[in-house]
Amino acid sequence: MGTKTILIVDDEQTTRQGLKKTLEIWSAGKYEIMSAADGPEAYELFSKTKIHLLITDICMPEMDGLKLLQNLKIKGYKPVVIIVSGHPNFDYAQEAIRLGVINYLLKPISKQKMIEAVEQALETEVSIERVDFMEKVVDQKLMKIDRRNDHSKFAIKEALTYVNNNLNRQITLKEVADSVYLNASYFSVLFKEQTSLTFSEYITRKRLQIAKTLLLTTDSQIEEIALEVGYQTSKYFIKLFKDYEGITPSKYRKMVNAEEIQI
């Protein structure tokens, strides 16, 4: 991941420059600190770069801070937000909370308080990114199996562990049934009963979930990923991926990476 960007929006030049200087000294180059003099300028910046943390004043001409947040939300931009205000206003605070603002600071703000708020906001941003990533790769049916695994029969728990440890190679139902000392036919019925998936569908979903993670976290070629998740040919892997996800692995990677850049 590249350098994260913090955007400061305030129509008061002295305040804006002071905050920018404070955060530049604090970040020591770890973060890119940008600034905008008003809402429209800030809104324009969002179309050009990904903003991870937005620090914005409320009272500004043309487009105030809350209107800026409303417009950003409509466009699908999801920065973590700190509001800065010169005066306490319950209505402003209520609307800020509704728009997902995580902190509401009153001017004048000490350097230490601002830095603490920024550090907290960036921790929140990391957590949100993790959740967004999980939503992109996690198979909901597999999650249900994981949740109820504690209530599964011992043989099925053992079988799931065996499968999960051997997904990178060819694996058969009989082999797994043998590993838990069950007849293959009985094992097939029991597996479906306990997981609500057929044995082959479970393996496919599990492999594709790993593949999605590799597509988003590595630069590996499609052929390499196919082999890594147990498919001998990339052609078959691509067909399965498209059947389940609706797009090819290459398009999936491009689409999600594009979202990462734009949002």
- pLDDT score recorded for residue 260: 54
Q: What is the mean pLDDT of residues 135-158?
A: 85
Give per-residue pLDDT as tens, 4-55.
999 999 999 999 999 999 999 999 999 999 999 999 999 999 999 999 999 9
The confidence score (pLDDT) of residue 258 equals 64
pLDDT at 147 exceeding the cut of 90: no
Q: Which of 31-40, 119-128, 141-150, 158-167 has the lowest mean pLDDT?
A: 141-150
The rounded distance, in Å, linking the Cα atoms of 60 and 92 is: 13
Residues of the chain with CATH 1.10.10.60: 140-262
For all residues of the chain together, what is the average pLDDT? 90
Query: DSSP states of 13-37 as a string?
Result: HHHHHHHHHHHHHHHTTSEEEEEES
Q: Give the 3-state secondary structure of residue 242.
A: helix
Q: How confident is the model at residue 107 (pLDDT cuts 50, 70, 90)?
A: confident
Domain spanning 4-132, CATH class: alpha beta
Whether the per-residue pLDDT at 204 is higher than 90: the answer is yes
Burial of 118 (0-12, 13-18, 19+ CB in 10 A): buried
- pLDDT confidence of residue 9: 96
258 compared with 77, residue with greater pLDDT = 77
Structurally, what CATH architecture does the domain formed by 140-262 represent?
Orthogonal Bundle (1.10)
pLDDT over 60 (residue 262): no
* Parts of the chain belonging to CATH 3.40.50.2300: 4-132
**Is 252 exposed, middle or buried (CB count within 10 Å of its CB: 0-12, 13-18, 19+)?**
buried
- Percentage of the chain beyond pLDDT 90 is 70
Are 18 and 110 in contact by the 8 Å Cβ rule? The answer is no
The strand ranges marked E within the chain are: 4-9, 31-36, 53-57, 80-85, 103-106
pTM of the model: 0.63
Question: Above 90 in pLDDT, residue 114?
Answer: yes
Using 50, 70 and 90 to split pLDDT, how confident is the model at 261?
Answer: very low
